[in-house]
Structure 1
């Protein structure tokens, strides 16, 4: 199963943008992430819709943060990238009338809901400034 690495990749880019304090083009970000600038524009477009970044076209244009790193949480970025649950409960719908399948699904869903609540809490409590500080403390 392929994992979605957009959150980690966007946190990486956004923290760099905040630490460098300027604008970055889709082409430059694409080079940083080893991906196509079109993918960068699509992903950053979601962040723009959620008020995390803004863009300016033309010469000298590019992407920049709309607010300081200490005002953006990991949860803000996550919500901009993915609507709904962060964790998907791997339930079965093969035999919906089976009481064993329904009971198994309830256990899995409850465990995932509890894990989701803890994850949301941790993401909401972590700012991009904290990530930047942790990166600068590494020697």
Structure 2
């Protein structure tokens, strides 16, 4: 089963863009994501259409954030990507006249609707600034841990 990782990838990109406070070219983003710049432009277009990023042309051009991370949730990014469905399962239309298939479809559709609502509620609770803050805390903890475990000689040798 293939996965759609666009949400994670675009959240990753937006947080990096906020950290670097400038423009990021499609080529730079493509290298970060190990993909093609055309894929980046196609994917980020939905974010541009929603007003989350803007593109600037010219030699110093690229993509820049137009919103603060505190104003963006994972749900915002998810909706901007225009994902048809987060689920690969769905109802069947093999035997539309069969009442059993129709009942099975109703049950599956109802469950998927509930799951989708729960997922959207959870995504709406996570701001991109939360991801940045957790990343900064993790980095600080790692830096502290490294400094605690260095040998005195190694510090003196630096």
Common fold: TM-score over 0.5: yes
Alpha-carbon distance in structure 2 between the residues aligned to 1:105 and 1:136: 45
Instruction: Name the counterpart of 1:80.
Output: 80
Instruction: Name the counterpart of 2:70.
Output: 70
RMSD: 1.4
Between 1 and 2, higher relative CO (CA 8 Å, sep ≥ 6) is seen in 1
Q: Is there any run of 5+ residues in structure 2 with no aligned partner, and where?
A: 143-158
Counterpart secondary structure, 2:29: helix
TM-score, with length taken from structure 1: 0.93
**Paired residues, what number?**
139
Structure ID, larger Rg: 2
Deviation at 1:98, TM superposition (A): 1.1
Counterpart secondary structure, 2:59: coil
Counterpart contact for 1:89–1:109, Cα < 8 Å: no
Q: Is there any run of 5+ residues in structure 1 with no aligned partner, and where?
A: none
Counterpart contact for 1:9–1:33, Cα < 8 Å: yes
Deviation at 1:61, TM superposition (A): 1.1
Deviation at 1:123, TM superposition (A): 1.2
Counterpart secondary structure, 1:55: strand
Are residues 1:111 and 2:129 paired? no
